[in-house]
Amino acid sequence: MTKLTDLNIATARDGLAKGDFSAAELAEAYIQAVEAGRDLNAYITETPEVALERARESDDRRAKGDHIGAMDGIPIAMKDLFCTEGVLTTAGSHILDGFVPAYESTVSANLRSAGAVMLGKANLDEFAMGSANITSYYGPVKNPWKAKGGPSDGKDLVPGGSSGGSAAAVAGGLAMAATGTDTGGSIRQPASFTGIVGLKPTYGRCSRWGVVAFASSLDQAGPMTQTVQDAAIMLGAMAGHDPKDSTSAPIAVPDFEAAITGDVKGLTIGIPKEYKMDGMDPQIQALWDQGIEWLKAAGCNIKEVSLPHTKYALAAYYIVAPAEASANLARYDGVRYGLRVPGDSLDDMYMNTRGEGFGDEVQRRILIGTYALSSGYYDAYYIKAQKVRTLIANDFKTAFQDVDAILTPTAPSAAFALGENQDDPVAMYLNDVFTVPTSLAGLPGISVPAGLSNDGLPLGLQVIGKAFDEGTLLNVAATLESAAAFSAKPDLSNSKGGASS
């Protein structure tokens, strides 16, 4: 019999409906897996009591014949950026020590209403600022995968970031699915590094209310799952208009799962020539070429498109995002909640609290953002970056006049070793080179595991869709998933790691 922790959302949903096992049994299996997998450091806070309580409530609903939600009885991890009523919420930062919200974020409330079972709060880069999940106050997260050969052989690998805890939990069998947030690639890049599916919806598709803010015009919640079908199911439960979030789109939530028909004949897929960069890893280029062939074989038309302002995307992003972070993080001052470090005066208390409470990367981004917003530099940096952002969005609009979706690599490399590039912020920022343009344009993007590197590590392909056309996006992604037939899993039984099929 299949282990309960080997099931995905769709298969677990069917098993629960048939009565093959109970939600409580499923929750218990995952609670044991979480305890056994603590070496990955995927969770900041485990909530086994909450999980069992919600699982029993799910079983009671089934027994009584009550309405069953789309995620009823499904055990998930919540990225510790989502406020959860009565449960510690840290954003991976020392400055939120002891912060227990008295309210629930809209996304986590939607998932709870759909019957999801929360196993705990997943680790992340501090305030979601990072691409390797090494900036968390609660320590780095380990990728459950290990390289077989190459320079990283035998070393612990990063899971990507900022949603690295969520990614490691799903890939390592410590959650059936997880929530993530994506500001510049923080769902898609860790999904690529850990061999799972990561979907960033259109900006405004999921409410930001109750999500600890990084960059408000970019942040977007999304699902991290084992399959594209699971992503469709979970997105349907997460999404919806929220009057508490002024950026939440007042549009209906379609049946995303029904959009996965498997028929993509006649669709035109764009291949942006600017993403073929000098010095690109040949393995990444080969996988991209393979993805193109898979979609051709499925009946898609392939068309080269131009996104001419792509080369400015990272520079614009690393002005806009830190500027918004500088404004958002001004609220953490030691007065109302979280950490307070006393001082001789109020100003001293502010400085002491922020100096001790924020880590190096967060301080770096606050300084960059404050500089970009300062008198004399606002027009030169922030306004110019916003203008470039508009040009990038217009590039996508032009391209989407001729194509239905766009195919690119997700990340420029496979997962790298913990500690590698740690002292080189620019090298870290380059991890987001393929994901940032989509975020700046507010478009949906999904990463699908599509192959293994020469060292046996997962590599992902990214599909980018039109605004609020997640249905087409998911259908194309499912076609890639079917063609790739990616079945490798991290070998959790062997400390040397690698893949098992």
Strands (E), 167-305: 177-182, 197-200, 220-225, 268-272, 301-305
Q: Look up 162 and say whether it is catalytic.
A: yes
Tell me how far apart the alpha carbons of residues 122 and 452 are, in angstroms, rounded to a whole number: 26
Of 108, 160, 114, 98, residue with least CA distance to 134: 160
Catalytic residue among 93, 105, 186, 192: 186
| Helix-, strand-, coil-residue percentages of the chain, each rounded to 5 | 40, 15, 45
Q: Which candidate in 79, 121, 200, 466 is catalytic?
A: 79
Q: What values do phi and psi take at 209, rounded to 5? A: -65, 130
**Which residue is catalytic, options 93, 162, 248, 453?**
162
The Cα 368–Cα 364 span in angstroms is 6
**Beta carbons within 8 Å of 57's beta carbon, 6+ residues apart:** none
C-alpha to C-alpha distance for 250 and 494, rounded to whole angstroms: 49
Q: Within 13 Å and on the Cβ side, how many CA atoms surround 167? A: 41
- Stated as kind and residue range, the H or E segment containing 433 is none
- Whole-angstrom distance, CA of residue 434 vs CA of residue 198: 14
Sign of CA dihedral 287, 291, 292, 297: positive
Dihedral angle computed from the Cα positions of residues 218, 77, 199 and 298, in that order, rounded to the nearest 10 degrees: 180
Give the residue ranges of DSSP H helices in 329-469.
Answer: 346-357, 360-373, 384-399, 425-429, 436-441
| Residue 186 is among the residues annotated as catalytic for this protein | yes
d(CA 463, CA 198): 11
Cβ atoms < 10 Å from Cβ of 300? 22
373-385: b (≥16 Cβ within 10 Å) or e: beeeeeeebbebb
Q: Which residues are catalytic?
A: 79, 162, 186
